[in-house]
Amino acid sequence: MDKYKNLIGGKLIEPSSGEYFDNIDPADKSDIVGKFPKSNAKDVEAAIEAAKNAYAEWSDMPPPRRGELIYKVGELLMRDQKKLAEIIVHENGKPTPAAMGDIKSSADVAYFMAGEGRRMYGQTTYSSLPRRWALTKRYPVGVCGLITAWNAPMAIITWKLFPALICGNTVVLKPSEDTPLTAHYFGELVKEVGIPDGVVNIVYGSGPGTGEALVKNQDVKLVSFTGSSQVGVKISEECGKQNKTCSLEMGGKNGLIVMPDADLKTAAKAVAAGAFSTAGQRCAATSRVFIHEQVYEMFMELLLAEAKADSISCPIINKRQFDRILSYIEEGKKSGAKLAYGGNALAEGKYAKGYYIEPTIFTDVNHNSKLAQEEIFGPVLCVFKIKSLGEGIKMVNSVDYGLTASIFTKDVDSAVHAMDKLEAGCCYINGPTFGSEPHMPFGGLKKSGNSHREPGTQAVDVFSEWKTIYIDYSGIAQQSQYKMK
């Protein structure tokens, strides 16, 4: 069985503890993909030191040159797309087309961010004083700690890492312990294109053992995290104590409204895809659907048909999450919700070796129950009947999350009104609550984020600092607030 090592300063280094953890295939619990370092604070400190040592060279490199190297990584991602997708399927369990899309998204971010090396624009303007030039310029933040999730293992890494690099930062990456092999091969691509040693460092391990050490280290000037809201709040608190930048992309309890004039067949397919594809293991997954009473019965027939036709090709990532989802299903039954479809773990035939749960649909849900209010991160959908657009918008907004939301309607007034009033960072008209495109910002409101976005040009704002510069050629000591004698 292969043993993998941390990537620190361009070298593959064993964990200081000598301990490793198993990377398990969620589709076959007996299949150990590989053993990865169970890193501790000492390993994290070594990686941060390597990033600090590489910072001067990398930050001094002109952004267009940094962009050329990032572009080459994108080329290698596409060259190895099939191989990398197979790795994701093996350790993550998602279907091959979804894994291929993960790599394509990563390459697209590389190409986009490479171009930002030529668009690292500041601003110039007139000073209020004569013979003085006023301008702004972007500068890197320093060493950045990146903590990523398992559900889109390559895309989430690149959505953070490429913006960080194009701005001139060096990074220490702590990938999810459920998908470390994807990060390992990404590290190989970084080395292949010639990005200097120490610019990208990868340290494996758990959140408490590795991630916490990364967040608490005062030499890390920025932390970018994707994961649960509970962990994100703890990271935010620690970053607040140190007054360091913190970018959080967290959970969702996303809602979709179906109006009477909607294309019901298309809407039903969108809801099923949003709720059940990749077993609902996406922060942008459709967790709740609000159906107008005029089309409720007809839509439910279509939705149940879509759920029954689902091929159930994606396992739940691990036993902890598997048990958690089943506990929410049981909680839903106890709270009085009606189980309209599914709700069972699958343990026979082709499902016997993995963690599988069939698509699950609840109706008659208590809107204040855990089932309706908390992120489940599994193939569980809550269905509600509404009487008006206003009621639908109010119910979509009545949770602590605000990541994605959607409405299906042919009425332009209803669609635009919903876009204005839905409390979500990403909104869709006549589309499922999926993520965002690589050149567009993605992120949420309320407990779904903390006002930062990734990727798009907005990610450059996260990973850079503005500096205001005045150039005075008046020959006298001018002061903008008052006239000096």
The Cα 392–Cα 51 span in angstroms is 49
* Unique residue bearing structure tokens 């009473």: 293
| Catalytic-role residue among 144, 239, 283, 426 | 283
In whole angstroms, how far apart are CA 352 and each of 28, 34, 95, 347?
Answer: 8, 22, 18, 4
The Cα 141–Cα 135 span in angstroms is 19
Q: Say which residues have a Cβ less than 8 Å from residue 232's Cβ, sequence separation at least 6.
A: 225, 248, 250, 450
Sheet strand arrangement including 220-226: 11-13, 6-8, 200-202, 170-174, 143-147, 220-226, 245-249
Q: Say which residues have a Cβ less than 8 Å from residue 329's Cβ, sequence separation at least 6.
A: 339, 343, 357, 360, 380
The Cα 152–Cα 100 span in angstroms is 11
Sheet strand arrangement including 124-126: 124-126, 132-140, 464-472
E-only strand ranges, 91-238: 124-126, 132-140, 143-147, 170-174, 200-202, 220-226
Joined tokens for residue 105: 């998204």
Joined tokens for residue 295: 């089309």
Closest CA to 244 of 236, 256, 253: 236
Helix (H, G, I), strand (E, B) or coil at 304: helix
Closest CA to 315 of 287, 361, 280: 280
Helix (H, G, I), strand (E, B) or coil at 382: strand
- Radius of gyration of the chain measured on its C-alpha atoms: 24
Helix (H, G, I), strand (E, B) or coil at 462: helix
Q: Say which residues have a Cβ less than 8 Å from residue 397's Cβ, sequence separation at least 6.
A: 421, 422, 423
* Unique residue bearing structure tokens 């994108």: 74
Widest CA span in the chain: 89
Concerning whether 283 is annotated as a catalytic residue, the answer is: yes
| Catalytic-role residue among 116, 249, 375, 454 | 249
Concerning whether 246 is annotated as a catalytic residue, the answer is: no
Active site residue ranges = 249, 283
